Amino acid sequence: MQKATRQQTKEHNSRLVYKSIYDGAEISRADIARSTGLTKTTVSSIVVDLMGEGLVEESGYGTSDGGKPPILLRAVDEARHYMGLDLAGSIFRGATLNLRGEIKKRAHKPVENSDGETALSVVYELIDQLLTDSEVPVRGIGVGAPGLINPVQGVVRRSVNLDWRDLHLRELLEDRYNLPCYIANDCQAAALGEYTFGENNQTTDLAVVKVGRGIGSGIVMNGALFFGQGYGAGEIGHLVVVDGDEICACGNRGCLETMASTQAIIKQAKEIALNDPKSYLNQIAASPEVITIIDVLEAFRAGDPNMQKIIIEAGRHLGAGMASLVSVLNVRHIVIAGSIARFGETLLEAIKGELVNRSMSIMAEDTEVYISSLGQDIVIKGAASLVLANEMHLV
Ligand SMILES: [Zn+2]
């Protein structure tokens, strides 16, 4: 093994010290030395550098254990701002965030009916606006994009909805903005966002299942995103969960995506509205053709038994897909994200029930399924986490 150079050792030590200040809320130099195993002299010299970079500040005095009270240090949350973009929906959304993942400025641009070069120009418009609006210089851009992404090369290999093929997105953005840029699949970014800023951020392993127009999952194992050798790990949307049912865009039949995506739910709701003129949906939507997931949600919340049935059915199919994740990965935290999360407890109960039916009981008992607390911002926060992980080594 090659010996670390002095520069590498210095950088490594600096990261250790910064991370212990960032994680510790308020901490003294002596406590940092204790927790990192570095000498007090090394810690003090690194702290000088970190304060010089504006990343750390002195916040007051701690309690004395007899001698002089120690000076406490804390991280400056606003020292750096990063950008996170979510390109998975029909509206491109983005935000700038501070070092705690708190959103500072937001922007969005509709992208419906545009693809290829036009969609790319919408990405530029979104970034331009966020850069203009940000009051603190932005130090990096993270992107969560739909489709198969090579995060190492920063290339969108295939994104069907956006009609992007082998698009060197990272290179394009880095050349244009002269900022470090990182790209991942939207579900994989969501998983990193949940791992970094979600409610159970002590766990080292989790899977986020994101259900919207499509279905996919992202997997964090041992504290890092698991991409798979072809970077497509977690593509559960095309697991076959029903025999010989509806044909999917991928050519198979009975894929999870054809049974439980919001598109699948809307399709079933439209059929109900067409067949039953008295259905609740016909009271809230102008015609069955224009029914949206928001209409379905409204009918569901009003107690429409047909909508309850559709959601329970979708939940069962999702539970079947998740049973595969649990069996293969033995992951104990499965987090639901995407627009389907708004169906709450009814959906969760259906998912859990099916998970128990289809898994070894001891593994199912150990598995917690819950809805992400990050809501609609999960991909934005995850995309920003990609930058935090690579630039600040905080993830
Ligand atoms: Zn399919």
pLDDT, tens digit (0-9, with 9 covering 90-100), for 151-201: 999 999 999 889 999 999 999 999 999 999 999 999 999 999 999 999 876
Domain limit, last residue, from 56, 75, 94: 75
Residue 300 pLDDT grade (very low, low, confident, very high; cuts 50, 70, 90): very high
Ligand 1 centroid–CA 102 distance in Å is 36
Residue 395 in domain = no
> What are 195-208's pLDDT values in tens digits?
999 987 689 999 99
Residue 2 pLDDT grade (very low, low, confident, very high; cuts 50, 70, 90): low
Average pLDDT, the chain: 93
Residue 329 in domain = yes
| CA angle centred on 169, ends 158 and 142, rounded to 5° | 105
Q: Are residues 215 and 238 in the same domain?
A: yes
Mean pLDDT of 66-82: 93
Ligand 1 centroid–CA 322 distance in Å is 16
Helix segments in 167-219, DSSP class H:
169-177, 186-197
Residue 209 in domain = yes
Number of structural domains in the chain: 3
Ligand 1 centroid–CA 238 distance in Å is 4
Q: Are residues 144 and 291 in the same domain?
A: no
Ligand 1 centroid–CA 240 distance in Å is 7
Ligand 1 centroid–CA 234 distance in Å is 14
Domain limit, last residue, from 14, 40, 75: 75
Residue 341 pLDDT grade (very low, low, confident, very high; cuts 50, 70, 90): very high
Instruction: Please give the Cα distance from 20 to 284 (Å, whole number).
Output: 54
Ligand 1 centroid–CA 256 distance in Å is 7
Q: Are residues 275 and 306 in the same domain?
A: yes
Q: Are residues 51 and 126 in the same domain?
A: no
Ligand 1 centroid–CA 258 distance in Å is 7
Ligand 1 centroid–CA 20 distance in Å is 45
Radius of gyration of the chain (CA): 24
Residue 143 pLDDT grade (very low, low, confident, very high; cuts 50, 70, 90): very high
Ligand 1 centroid–CA 218 distance in Å is 18
Ligand 1 centroid–CA 161 distance in Å is 15
Q: Are residues 173 and 232 in the same domain?
A: no
Ligand 1 centroid–CA 217 distance in Å is 14
CATH number assigned to the domain comprising residue 300? 3.30.420.40
Q: Are residues 70 and 102 in the same domain?
A: no
Instruction: Please give the Cα distance from 63 to 65 (Å, whole number).
Output: 7
* Terminal-residue alpha carbon distance, the chain: 26
Q: Are residues 26 and 71 in the same domain?
A: yes
Quick check: 106 and 95 in contact, CB under 8 A?
A: yes
pTM of the model: 0.92
CA 229 to chain centre: 20
Quick check: 79 and 55 in contact, CB under 8 A?
A: yes
**Amino acid, single-letter form, for residue 153:** Q
Q: Are residues 359 and 309 in the same domain?
A: yes
Domain residue limits at 165:
81-193+382-389
Q: Does residue 1 register a pLDDT over 60? A: no
Q: Are residues 230 and 145 in the same domain?
A: no
Q: φ and ψ at 79, to 5 degrees? A: -60, -35
Q: Are residues 203 and 315 in the same domain?
A: yes
Residue 394 in domain = no
Ligand 1 centroid–CA 252 distance in Å is 5
Q: Does residue 245 register a pLDDT over 80? A: no
Q: Are residues 70 and 85 in the same domain?
A: no
Domain limit, last residue, from 18, 53, 75: 75
Q: Are residues 24 and 130 in the same domain?
A: no
Ligand 1 centroid–CA 251 distance in Å is 6
Residue 1 in domain = no
CATH number assigned to the domain comprising residue 42? 1.10.10.10
